[in-house]
């Protein structure tokens, strides 16, 4: 499928009964049409969140390198998270 962006790979995921029940509930409440759709959405959300973390990390590293602050990235990140979480 050279050049195709719609390639789908199948694979198996082992999950607990609790996790499987949660997935089934998402489908039963018509939030999603299949468990696969739920998993794909969770992956999209995780990738988006990782992109946001990467962006923030890059901003922190740039600020540190500029000499703008004497605080370390861990301290800045912790403060940012506390402000975001209230």
Strand segments, DSSP code E, in 1-86 are none
Q: Is residue 3 in some structural domain?
A: no
Per run of 10 residues, the mean pLDDT along the chain (length 86 residues) is 61 88 93 92 95 91 78 87 81
Q: Is residue 8 in some structural domain?
A: no
Q: Is residue 6 in some structural domain?
A: no
Instruction: Domain count for the chain, please give it.
Output: 1
Give the domain extent around 55: 17-85
Tell me how far apart the alpha carbons of residues 80 and 64 are, in angstroms, rounded to a whole number: 15
Q: Is residue 73 in some structural domain?
A: yes
Q: Which helix (H) or strand (E) holds 78?
A: helix 73-85
For position 19, what pLDDT does the model report? 93
């Amino acid at each position: 499928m050279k050049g195709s962006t719609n390639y789908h790979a199948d694979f198996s995921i082992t999950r607990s009964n609790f996790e499987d029940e949660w997935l089934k509930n998402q489908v039963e409440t018509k939030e999603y049409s299949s468990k696969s759709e739920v998993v794909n959405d969770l992956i999209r959300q995780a990738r988006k969140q990782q992109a946001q973390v990467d962006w923030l990390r890059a901003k922190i590293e740039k600020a540190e390198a500029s000499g703008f602050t004497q605080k370390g990235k861990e301290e800045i990140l912790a403060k940012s998270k506390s402000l975001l979480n209230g």
